[in-house]
Amino acid sequence: MTIRFTLNSREVEIDTDPLRRLLDVLREDFGLTGVKEGCGEGECGACSVIIDGELANSCIVPVGTVQDAVILTIEGYRETERYRVIEESFAAEGSVQCGFCTPGFVMAAEVLLSKNPTPDEKAIREAISGNLCRCTGYHMIVEGIARASRTGAKLWAKPTDR
């Protein structure tokens, strides 16, 4: 099947088995290895990408279901100013240990902040409830996201808030 979608702001088209996992298409066909496989069951969130503005586990998305979708991976996101704020905040708060889960948390943070620019702790924990981390115990990740929402407030503020 021919599948067209927007990937990291580029229009792309591939001809492939639509049942292939989006994760494999991203990693193998596009070389986007920032999207990780931690479990292959949609449980850990290391494969998190953003599809049409929503968080998704690419390991359980058949590529046939992203026809005409807008997809953002960590590779596309890391070119943005919002990402730089998150990267700095994560570094400042100790959010990164082994790093395997981190890109997934970054994508979850982006989805959260784009919908709720000033989340409280409960909202942050809920937004990352589908991302597993085994190293940090989560607290420093929560603080990293909270810090990003403070220092980067203008970047996520809704037009009506400005």
Partner 1 sequence: MAERIETSIPRFEAPEKTGGLAQYIADIPFQNMLYARTLRSERARARIVSIDIPQMPEGYITVDSSDAPASNRSHMIEDDWPFFAEGVVNHVGEPILLVVGPDKAEIVRLLSEIEVQYEDLEPVLTIEESIAADKPFFGDRNIMAEYVIEKGDTEKAFGQAEHVFEDEYHTGIQEHVYLEPQGFVAVYEDERMVVYGSMQCPFYVKNVLVQAFGWDEKRIRVVQTVTGGGFGGKEEYTSILAGHAAFASYKTGHPVQLILDRAEDISVSTKRHPSTCRYRTAVDDDGRLTALQAHVQLDGGAYVGLSAVVLQRAMLMAAGVYNIPNVRITGEVIATNNIPSGAFRGFGAPQALFAVEMHLHSLAEKLGEDPLDFKMRNALEKGDTTASCGRMHHEVKLPEMVRTLEHMSGYREKRHSHRKQSSRMLKGIGASLFFHGCSFTGSGEQDKIKAVVKLRKRKDGLVEILVSSAEIGQGPQTTLRKIVSHTLGIPVMRVVYKNPDTDRVPDSGPTVASRTVIIVGALLEKAAADLAERMHEAGEIEVTKQYEQPDYICWDQDALKGDAYPTYSWGANVVEVEVDPATFEIRITGLWGVYDVGTPIDEQVVLGQIEGGMAQGLGYATLEVMEMKNGRPMQANLTDYIIPTAGDYPRMQVALVKNSYEYGPFGAKCVGELPFLGAAPALASAVEHALGQSINRIPVTPEYLMEAVEHDHPIHPEQ
Partner 2 sequence: MGKTYRPLSLDEALEMAEAENALPLAGGTDLMVQNRSWSGLPPYMKRPVLFIGHLKELQGVHAEGDGLVIASATTLTAILRNERIPSLLKEAVRSIGGPAIRSRATLGGNICNASPAADTLPPLYVLGAELVLRRKNGTRTVPVASFMQGPGKTVLKRGELLTAVRLPAMEPAITFYRKVGTRSSNALSKLSIAAAADSEKGVVTDVGIALGAVAPTVVCSPDAENLMRGRTAAEIRGELYRILDAYNCKLKPIDDQRSSSLYRLKASFRLILSFIGTVLLPALEENT
Contact residues toward partner 2 (CB under 8 A) are: 1, 17-21, 24, 28, 37, 40-43, 45, 48, 51, 54-57, 59-62, 64-65, 67, 108, 111, 126-127, 129-131
| 63-90 burial code (b ≥16 CB/10 A, e <16) | beebeebebbbbbbbbeeebbebbbebb
The DSSP symbol for 128 reads T
* Strands in 8-131 per DSSP E: 10-15, 48-51, 54-57, 70-72
What does 136 bind: partner 1, partner 2, none (CB cut-off 5 to 8 Å by kind)? Answer: partner 1
Q: For residues 13 and 26, what is the distance between their CA atoms, to the nearest angstrom?
A: 12
Stretch that binds partner 1, among 4-12, 50-58, 89-97, 111-119 (CB under 8 A): 89-97
Contacted by 36, from partner 2, partner 1, none: CB < 5 to 8 Å by type: partner 1
Q: Is 43 in the site for partner 1 (CB under 8 A)?
A: yes
CA distances from 14 to 57, 98, 106 (A): 20, 33, 27
142 near partner 1, judged by CB under 8 A: yes
Cβ atoms of 49 and 109 within 8 Å: the answer is: no
d(CA 142, CA 138): 6
Question: Among 41, 68, 159, 160, which residue interacts with partner 1 (rule: CB under 8 A)?
Answer: 41
The interface region with partner 1, picked from 1-9, 42-50, 112-120, 152-160 by CB under 8 A, is: 42-50
| Shorter beta-carbon distance to partner 1: residue 61 or 146 | 146
Number of residues that bind partner 1 (CB under 8 A): 53
